[in-house]
Chains A and B, each alone.
Chain A
Amino acid sequence: MARRARGGILATLGHRALILGFTAFAIFPFYWMLITAFKQNADLYVGASNTAHNPFIFNRPPTLEHLHILFENTLYLTWLFNTLWVGGLVVAITLALGVPAAYSLARLTGRWGERLSIGIFLTYLIPSTLLFIPFSRLVALLGLQNQLWALVLIYPTFTVPFCTWLLMGFLKTLPKEIEESAMVDGCSRLGAITRVVLPLAVPGLLTVVIFALTLTIQEFVYSLTFISSVGRMTVSVGVPVALVRGDVYYWGSLMAACLITSVPLAFLYNFFLDRFIAGFTVGAIK
Chain B
Amino acid sequence: MPSPDVALARPRATSVETLSRRDLRLGKLLLAPALAYIFLLVAIPFLLAVFLSLTNSSAGSLQFSFVGLQNFRAVVASPVFLRALRNTFIFTVVSQVLVIGLGNVLARALMKPFRGKLLVRFLILLPWAAPISLATLGWLWIFDSTFSVINWLLKVVGWLGPGQWYYWLGDPVLGMIAIITVHVWRMLPFSTVIILAGLTSIPKEVHEAADIDGAGPVAKTFQITIPMMLPILTVAVLFGAVFTFTDMSVVYLLTRGGPYNSTHVLASLAFQDGVLGGDVGRGAAVAIFLVPLLVVMAVVMLRISRRAEVV
Task: List the interface of chain A (C-beta within 8 A of B).
Answer: 15-16, 18-19, 22-23, 25-30, 32-33, 36, 44-49, 51, 55-56, 96-98, 100-101, 103-105, 107-110, 113-114, 116, 118, 120-123, 125-138, 140-141, 153-154, 156-157, 160-161, 164, 189-190, 214, 217-218, 220-221, 224-225, 235-237, 239-240, 249, 251, 254-255, 257-258, 261-263, 265-270, 273, 277, 280-286
Contacts and interface: CB of A to CB of B under 8 A. Distances in A.
Interface string B264-275: 001100110011
Contacts, number: 316
Contact of A280 (B102, B185, B235, B249): B235
A32 B141 contact: yes
Given A118-B301, A258-B138, A266 B48 contact: no
B156 interface: yes
Contacts of A23: 120, 123-124
Given A130-B246, A133-B270, A189 B133 contact: no
B253 A132 contact: no
Interface residues of B, number: 106
Contacts of A225: 271, 275
Contact of A266 (B62, B126, B139, B271): B126
A110 B28 CA distance: 12
A125 B297 contact: yes
B301 A153 contact: no
Nearest to A254: B137
Given A30-B126, A129-B290, A282 B248 contact: no
A230 to B, nearest CB: 15
Contact of B129 (A18, A97, A110, A268): A268
A240 B248 CA distance: 14
A44 B52 CA distance: 48
Given A97-B34, A109-B24, A110-B24, 6 more contacts: A104-B26, A137-B280, A220-B132, A265-B130, A284-B198, A285-B197
Nearest to B235: A284
Interface string B173-198: 00000000000010011000110011
A220 B27 CA distance: 35
Contacts of A48: 146-149, 151-152, 155
Contacts of A257: 134
Contacts of B34: 97-98, 100-101, 120, 160, 164
Contacts of B131: 217-218, 220, 235-236, 261-262, 265
Contacts of A100: 30-31, 33-34
A19 B185 contact: no
Interface stretch (B36-44, B73-81, B206-214, B216-224): B36-44
A36 to B, nearest CB: 7
24 contacts: A44-B147, A55-B149, A120-B34, A126-B294, A127-B267, A128-B246, A129-B246, A133-B274, A133-B287, A134-B46, A134-B284, A157-B41, A160-B37, A221-B271, A236-B134, A239-B133, A239-B134, A258-B134, A261-B130, A261-B134, A265-B131, A270-B121, A283-B308, A286-B201
B67 interface: no
Given A48-B151, A286-B311, A104 B30 contact: yes
